[in-house]
Amino acid sequence: MSVYLLPTIFSLQLLVRAASLFGLLPDPIRLQPQSLPFVPREFHIALVSDQRSGKGPVARLALVLNQPPQPVDLDGGITYSVRAFVNQSLRQNKSLRPIAMRIKQCRVTETAIGNRVRGEFVYEVMFDLLGKDDQGIETSTRLTEYSGSATYTRPLGQLTVIEPTIRQAITASLRSLNDYMNREAKQNEKLATSLRVVFTDDTRITADDTVQYNPDRRLTWTDFQAEPRRGSHYAAEVFTSFAYEGKSTVKDGIITLNLSVKSYMLKNSSWARADAKNAYALNHEQRHFDITKLIAERFKRAIQPDSLTLEDYNSLIQYQFIESFREMNQMQKQYDSETNHSLDQASQERWNQKIDAELRSFKVKP
């Protein structure tokens, strides 16, 4: 009996082909932890999630000549593997801002040409800031993203280039996030750590159609410039309202919210009958204006940092404005109802005192 030895290279190819045919693929790709050359001062990675459109293995590797690429995954799957790499390689200070790392693409595709393999790697990740709204519901705010790609060539039987290629991309994305956080932490509203509110009142005294509320500028009958409403049984009607404008700035991680609040009366929407223009009736109309100012002051008192959240302070302010506007309309109706549109003098005097007391509490009146 004779024994023949096959060439070594051909023997290895047969063994690899047999392993592929029987499903004996290489071990999963295991990311090797490394000491990253930076220490985050503004964040920690609190969550890693797989948001790829396809949730299969990350790689399709050319293992055997003339055979289709075979699927090979990261050890434990992409979420487990990347999370383990981050936890072992990045210094995690959980007292810092929590960041979600959402992987959108992580794909290795190979093509064998002879005994050489050409590989293409694509990687994309998004980073979100995690938080909670005023109801305690978890929120997520998009911060930044990173994408990268690489190509390589390797021998058919040599797989060592694959793991470093993936690992370097993950490391580059974390470095990019670290640079972003260091650059933006003090000036980006999304990353602010506290909020302060500064109010200003528009008290300008002008000659145009709008009368801004000013304690030194009481209403006069010349402010009532509209034609009396036909068929109305009222002696006069004043149109008052309030509004706000806001502008925010960020410095040293603090949002300063500058709110300009104005209570105003419109001359061209206010009217009075000639026979009703006396001091008593004018006081009644002035009190409508005073009530509008009171509601504006209550609105300002409700808008304080401890009643707002960094995530949605704009919507909370808008909600409070709508509530205050509703309160203003209700109070104006109650005032007219209880004073019988100024005809009940005793009730009118009680409202005068009530309004003055609250104006003093807000330091609007001395």
Each residue's pLDDT expressed in tens, for the chain with a length of 366 residues: 333 333 333 343 343 344 444 445 678 999 999 999 999 999 999 999 999 998 899 999 999 888 999 999 999 999 999 999 999 999 999 999 999 999 999 999 999 998 999 999 999 999 999 988 777 788 899 999 999 999 999 999 899 999 999 999 999 999 999 999 999 999 999 999 999 999 999 999 999 999 999 999 999 999 999 999 988 889 999 999 999 999 999 999 999 999 999 999 999 999 999 999 999 999 999 999 999 999 999 999 999 998 888 888 999 999 999 999 999 999 999 999 999 999 999 999 999 999 999 999 999 998
**CA dihedral for 214, 216, 221, 225, sign (positive or negative):** negative
| Alpha carbon 357 to its chain's center | 41
**What's the rounded Cα separation, in Å, for the pair 218 and 221?**
10
Other beta carbons less than 10 A from residue 16's beta carbon: 18
Cα angle for residues 15, 154, 145 (degrees, 5° grid): 120
Residue 63: other Cβ atoms inside 10 A: 22
> What are the sequence ranges of the domains in the chain?
13-187, 194-361
Report strand pairing: 138-155 vs 70-72: unpaired
Global confidence as pTM: 0.76
Number of H helices, E strands in the chain: 6, 12
pLDDT at 13: 38
**Beta carbons of 128 and 140 less than 8 angstroms apart:** yes
Q: With contact defined as beta carbons under 8 Å apart, do 213 and 289 qualify?
A: yes
CA distance 343 to 352: 14
Contacts of 2 (CB under 8 A, 6+ apart): none
Q: Spell out the alpha helix ranges (H) of 193-312.
A: 279-302
Q: Convert 331-363 to b/e letters by CB count within 10 Å (16 or more is b).
A: bbeebbeebebbeeeeebeebbeebeebbeeee
Q: Output the CATH code of domain 13-187.
A: 3.40.50
The residue length of the chain stands at 366
| Residue 172, token pair as written in the block | 């580059």
- Looking at residue 10, its pLDDT comes to 38
